[in-house]
Chain A
Amino acid sequence: MSFINYSTREINCKIVYYGPGLCGKTTNLQYIFRRMNPESRGKMISLATETDRTLFFDFLPVSMGEIRGFKTRFHLYTVPGQVFYDASRRLILRGVDGVVFCADSQLTRMDSNLESFDNLKINLREQGYDPDRIPMVLQYNKRDINSVASLSELHALLNYRNVPEFESVATTGVGVFETLKAIIKLVLIDLKKGRK
């Protein structure tokens, strides 16, 4: 649920990066954090285990400038990808305005991608969202690795809605901002429509 403050003229929206464990959700946020002008982003918070696996969430607030005199702020969250953290994932999806599903392109991870994508749909429904209507972007990450699925295979596996999709290498930043821009556009268009 976005928050619009007419007094301070601000629009706040929540975007969640979802996907299987080790697909690169945190790496996306880390790259955005490193590359954005410090004046346009806040601190990045990572609630992680000692081995740097996301335990609860990562959080990065970013400002994208003004539209019609309103400052736009986006709160980027990641979920913990590991299967057994499902209760945490459900909590983080509360109030979400848009989802980036980050898939791991490696052939060996196709089952994990599908399992996570199905889990996303279940958890969205539990929070009262329609998984077929919520603003969503797909990101096929780790395109620099040799044994990866083709774009058409990933499309066939995950993109039944035909939402915007991007190839990425989050470690080097390929596709990271393209993904972010696409989800921000979809969220703002959806906000205009005023539906959940």
Chain B
Amino acid sequence: MNPGHFILYEKEYNEIQSVLMKLLADSYAKVVFLVDKNGSLLSSAGETGNFDTTSLASLAAGNIAATGGLASLIGEKEFSILFHEGERDNMHISVVDNRLILVVIFDRRSSIGLVRLRVRRADEFLERILRSIDEAAQKEEEGEGVIEELTEADIETLFK
């Protein structure tokens, strides 16, 4: 993978989307979303219209970062699963392959046990997809060159 940026192509994006849709259905969740550790939203499924997913993504990443900091203070590598219980909705946050964050929001139609079980399964698929993203990045076959071909004139158009 290019150390400077994380590139997601259509094929892998669609595969991730399928995994999230399946996780959503299998865990009876309200919303599922996948975020990178820097807080950028990669993909989501479910009742996303009711949530500010950009803010959720940023705060979930902040949450993982903060608990990771706590973990290292007590000699742990990281806390890979977080669970927040609310009056109505609950949130299950887990780290995938040490680089992405999977967030599941669910209510009383589901349970923490079921969510945890389904998330574990989804993790396996997501890790597989991540490996193929790495391979694609190494080959750089699919690079459409848009980023590399950016000119300063293109960048200037943003400010006109």
Contact = CB atoms under 8 A, between A and B. Distances in A.
Given A8-B13, A45-B59, A68 B154 contact: yes
Interface of B: 2-10, 13-14, 36-40, 42, 52, 54-55, 58-59, 62, 65-66, 68-69, 142, 144, 146-150, 152, 154-155, 157-159
Interface in A36-88: 42-43, 45, 47, 56-57, 59, 61, 64-65, 67-70, 72, 75, 87-88
Contacts of A70: 146
Interface residues of A, number: 46
Interface string A120-160: 00000000000000000000000000000000000000000
A184 interface: yes
A195 B148 CA distance: 11
A4 B8 contact: yes
Contacts of B155: 67, 184-185, 188-189
A43 B52 contact: yes
A26 to B, nearest CB: 16
Nearest to A187: B155
Given A2-B4, A5-B8, A194-B5, 8 more contacts: A1-B36, A3-B36, A4-B147, A7-B9, A59-B55, A94-B38, A189-B152, A191-B4
